[in-house]
């Protein structure tokens, strides 16, 4: 998908999020305690350095513009998923296979939603010349 320049960096960051989702999925599927603990530790670290700044950029720049343009349902879904991902990340301080699996699924689905729906809508509403 061709992205408007204003969305390029956010879109590129999604690649890293998908890799993190795969890491979580493989560890959860393994059922091996040490793999689950190591994945949880890595996710907590990368959440702070990569995902949280990504969420904050979306929440401070993109989502207010989309709300003003009338895309409130997409914005509400995005914010709800960000909140759930933050909660799951906090809960990974005590590594758990089910939490890790939910994190993997939600992060994967969230990235797909943003790429296929949120960013497409942003391009149509905010950057119609694209």
Q: Which pLDDT tens digit goes with each residue over 2-20?
A: 898 999 999 999 999 999 9
pTM of the full predicted structure? 0.95
- pLDDT attached to residue 130: 62
pLDDT (mean) for 27-46: 98
- pLDDT attached to residue 70: 97
**Domain assignment of residue 89, given as a range:** 5-68+75-126
Give the count of domains, the chain.
1
Q: Comparing C-alpha atoms, which of 49, 28, 14, 38 is closest to residue 102?
A: 28
- pLDDT attached to residue 87: 99
Q: Comparing C-alpha atoms, which of 31, 17, 7 is closest to residue 100?
A: 31
Q: Which pLDDT tens digit goes with each residue over 59-98?
A: 999 999 999 999 999 999 999 999 999 999 999 999 999 9
Rg, the chain, Cα only: 15
């Amino acid at each position: 998908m061709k992205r408007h320049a204003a969305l390029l960096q956010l879109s590129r960051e999604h690649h890293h999020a998908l890799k993190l989702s795969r890491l979580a999925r493989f560890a959860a599927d393994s059922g091996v305690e040490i793999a689950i603990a190591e994945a949880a530790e890595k996710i907590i670290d990368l959440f702070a350095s990569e995902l949280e700044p990504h969420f904050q950029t979306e929440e401070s720049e993109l989502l207010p513009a989309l709300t003003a343009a009338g895309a409130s349902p997409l914005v509400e879904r995005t914010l709800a998923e960000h909140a759930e991902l933050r909660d799951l990340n906090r809960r990974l301080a005590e590594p758990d296979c089910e939490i890790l699996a939910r994190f993997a699924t939600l992060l994967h689905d969230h990235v797909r939603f943003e790429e296929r729906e949120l960013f497409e809508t942003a391009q149509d509403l905010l950057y119609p010349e694209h």
